[in-house]
Amino acid sequence: MDKFYYDNKIVKQFGVATLFWGIIGMLVGVLIAFQLAFPALNFGIPYTSFGRLRPLHTNAVIFAFVGNAVMGGAYFILQRVLKTRLFSDLLSKIHFWGWQLIIVFGAITLVAGYTTGKEYAELEWPLDILITLIWVVFGINMVGTILKRRERHLYVSVWFFIGTWVTVAMLHIVNSFEIPFTWLKSYSLYAGVQDALVQWWYGHNAVAFFLTTPFLGLMYYFVPKAAERPVYSYRWSIIHFWALIFIYIWAGPHHLLYTALPEWAQALGTVFSIMLILPSWGGMLNGLFTLRGAWDRVREDPILKMLVVSLTCYGMATVEGPMLSLKNVNAYSHYTDWTVAHVHIGALGFNGFMIFAMLYYLVPRMWNTTLHSRQLANVHFLISTIGILLYAIPMYWAGWAQSLMWKKFTDSGQLQYQFLETVTHIVPMYIVRGIGGTLYWIGAFLAVYNLYKTMKKGSFVDNEVAEALPLSAQPIPVKQHWHNAIERKPVQMLALSFVVVAIGGIVELVPTFLVESNVPTISSVKPYTPLELHGRDLYVREGCYTCHSQMIRPFRDEEMRYGEYSKSGEFVYDYPFQWGSKRTGPDLHRIGGKYPDSWHYNHMRDPQETSPGSVMPPYPWLLEKELNTRTTPAKIRAMQKLGVPYPEGYDKISNEELRKQAERIAAGLKGSKIEVSADKEIIAMIAYLQRLGTDIKK
Amino acid sequence: MKFSNYLKSIEDVSIYPLITLVLFVLVFVSVVVYTFMISKQDMDERANIPLK
């Protein structure tokens, strides 16, 4: 028998970080929820405006709260099911502190306005590199641990962690190709339709492989542990794993239905999304059936309660997702709060409750004591469950109501509602949602208190003693299957998982990359002028895409409201694409020329003045800050590298061109009795907005 | 059909869905066959790893 020690310290560090970032990330979520009802909460400064805080919220809850939980949970489970200490204490340490560094820098840069403008992949290029390095450290530590194990079989949780690691690495690298032009800013390597396809292939699979597969790894360990019985069917779990990683990777295009994306790719996304129901529900039922004979305990045990609600939410979200992928449903649901509700059923219910159940399980065990208060944990469960309901129901309602209002015509064939009317109609729902989020946050806070008291009560066991037979001393089974061979060789398993997920990626992405005819060119579409390019970068910096789409779908109501539907060829110079995924405000793709420059000036200064009842935050700093034109030549050169046909040597004269256009706009504003110097940021923003969607009208 | 309009410009495009379908079916069938070939005792042993 070998005697060895489990490293609990690293699990503790990740666990504490989970709680810390969870509280912060959710609090930012609550703030931005209320901002949508009370724009004054944007406080009139850049760092607290919705467009910057929304990416902070999503990044904080996904990569900081969930990320730390997954890493801590994986390190706890890997050691126990492989009967060994983690591969390297040093790598564990580098992994933990490196990840926290990424989070801190990520938060600072996002609030400061350094963003790639691609949802859930907003962090800029230096952080992208750091993420890659730390992810490699995580991978080496994980595979190293698997290689020195004392358990012949790799338990199914380990497969899910391997699948997660491989796929996230691939997604992150492919989606993060960018050309830097300053130390903190870059342009995406892809433009328009291609960028959208890559981004949503990433975005969708970030949900699949950062928020789902690692959680199934946690589920297959913690549900049997909490229920004190083995998983219902190990056979199901094998099918679950392979089917899920194979099918998930294909479903990305369902985020782009009715857009300018080629139709074959949209069809592919829908078909695979429907197929996803089977493995997802198979997995959910496998988890729930594991509780066979233990249902009486669900009444009292907060951990089991949370696991049951978590799995139920997983089941709900995974039947709703495919439903939203049907084109006829998506026509209504897309761009509305329905998507937001759907996401939060997964995030608050499935992810959140799984994490809290895990922590309620881990902390008493690692501190060698019992939970400080079971009753308090039950209160947490109750408050947070009510919180989820109060969050989701108003958002479903708001989504439906707004979509129906958008599409409503009068008898004479006119649109019945102005966009703004559809917003003010759902503001009360936004308030209830904010209350729901607050309740969930209070529940999380109770968990922090309860777990803190538990830690104080017990004494932490940083090196937990364990014993197991070395692998060499264990008998080799007589009968072997091919899967056994893969399982015994984790590197093979890793390679095979990669092949499986890469196939989906290649078949989906390659045709769009190679074939120019997939994106028909439009001869009148020309590159942005230097001033417009700056304006576009300001649009990205302020996170305008978090509330405004730039993609008019070919529907009667959308064409009537916004103008001619968007063509793929119109986006060929958009690095990155800015199609958006949510219309808290109206679509902006054909905003160019719709209003005079003075309207935009006044609207950015105080949206409520031009649009009474608007929930848009004001952007007074755009009127005061000078445009940084030092970067213009570098921007032009980066664009040229990406293939944008600016004439040679254009970078040298770009600032001169910029000045001329800016002065024309400033002079025009002067005619409208607005005194503003031509070197302010607002001028660039106006130039960009007035250019949007106008090329095909030429 | 629009689907084929987009695809017909890709050289030998028919091979893509074919490869995909074959791979998908192969992986799926092998996994299913495999899982039903393993003995119950073997499965139980694995399922019990976290509880050991």
Residue A77: closest CA among chain B residues belongs to which residue? B50
**Local structure of residue A65 (DSSP, 8 states):** I
Which pLDDT belongs to residue A594? 95
Among A146, A248, A261, A263, most B C-beta atoms within 10 A, so best to mutate, is A263
Looking at the complex, report in whole angstroms how far the Cα of residue B22 sits from the nearest Cα belonging to chain A. Answer: 12
> Which residues pair with residue A5 across a beta bridge?
A465
In this complex, how many residue pairs, one in chain A and one in chain B, have their CB atoms less than 8 Å apart? Answer: 85
- Give B2's pLDDT tier (boundaries 50, 70, 90): very low
Chain A closest-CA separation from residue B43 CA (Å): 6
> Helix crossing, A67-82 with A213-227: angle to 10°?
60
Please give the pLDDT value at position A497.
Answer: 75
Give yes or no for a contact between B2 and A514, defined as CB atoms under 8 angstroms apart.
no
Which CATH number fits the domain A2-7+66-373+461-509, given the four candidates 3.30.9.40, 3.90.1150.10, 1.20.210.10, 3.40.50.300?
A: 1.20.210.10
ipTM score for this prediction: 0.78
Chain A contact present for B26, CB below 8 A: no
Say what the pLDDT of residue A519 is: 65
Specify the pLDDT at position A485: 67
Phi/psi-derived region of residue A44, left when phi > 0, alpha when psi is between -120 and 50, beta in every other case:
left
Strands A463-468 and A2-7: antiparallel
Per-residue tokens: B21: 């379908």
**What is the Cα gyration radius of chain A?**
26
Query: Which structure tokens are listed for A105?
Result: 């820098």
DSSP, collapsed to helix, strand or coil, labels residue A633 as helix
User: Are the C-beta atoms of residues A69 and A14 closer than 8 Å to each other?
Assistant: yes
The three-point CA angle A673-A658-A585 to 5° equals: 65
Q: Any residues with CB less than 8 A from the CB of A371 and at least 6 apart, and which?
A: A360, A363, A364, A377, A450, A454
Which pLDDT value is given to residue A479? 62
Low-confidence ranges of chain A (pLDDT < 70): 260, 477-488, 504-520
At A680, is the secondary structure helix, strand, or coil? Answer: strand
User: A530-691: what CATH class?
Assistant: mainly alpha
Disruptive mutation site among B12, B49, B51, B52 for chain A (greatest number of A CBs within 10 Å): B49
Amino acid identity at A678: A
Confidence grade of residue B1 (pLDDT, cut at 50, 70, 90) = very low
In which residue ranges of chain A is CATH 1.10.760.10 found? 530-691
Are residues A597 and A672 in contact, defined by beta-carbon separation less than 8 angstroms? Answer: yes
A507 to B20: CB separation less than 8 angstroms, yes or no: yes
Q: In 10 A of CB A9, how many CB atoms?
A: 17
What is residue A307's predicted lDDT score, i.e. its pLDDT? 97
Using the Cβ of A155 and the Cβ atoms of chain B, whether some distance falls under 8 Å is answered with yes
Q: Which residue of A has its CA nearest to B41?
A: A234
Distance from CA of B41 to the nearest CA of A (A): 11
Contacts of A84 (CB under 8 A, 6+ apart): A4, A145, A148, A149, A150, A468
Residue with tokens 């495919």: A322
Of A70, A470, A502, the residue nearest A245 (C-alpha): A502
Q: How far is Cα A615 from Cα A608, in angstroms, rounded to an integer?
A: 8
- Say how many C-beta atoms besides its own lie within 10 A of residue B32's C-beta: 15
* Spans of all domains in chain B: 22-46
Facing A503 at nearest CB: one of B9, B20, B30: B20
Interchain proximity A263–B2, CB inside 8 Å: yes
Residue A289 structure tokens: 């059936």
Using DSSP, state whether A5 is helix, strand or coil.
strand
* Average model confidence (pLDDT) across chain B: 73
By CA distance, what is A154's nearest residue in B? B46
Contact: A481, B37; criterion CB under 8 Å: yes
Of A80, A220, A230, which has the smallest distance from its Cβ to B48's Cβ?
A230
**Cα distance between residue A500 and residue A237, in whole Å:** 17
Span(s) in chain A for CATH 1.20.210.10: 2-7+66-373+461-509
User: Is A246 within 8 Å of chain B by CB?
Assistant: yes
Alpha helical stretches, state H, A36-121? 50-59, 67-82, 89-111
Position B39 scores a pLDDT of: 85
Which A residues 73-92 touch B at CB under 8 Å?
Answer: 77, 80-81
CB A430 within 8 A of CB A29: no
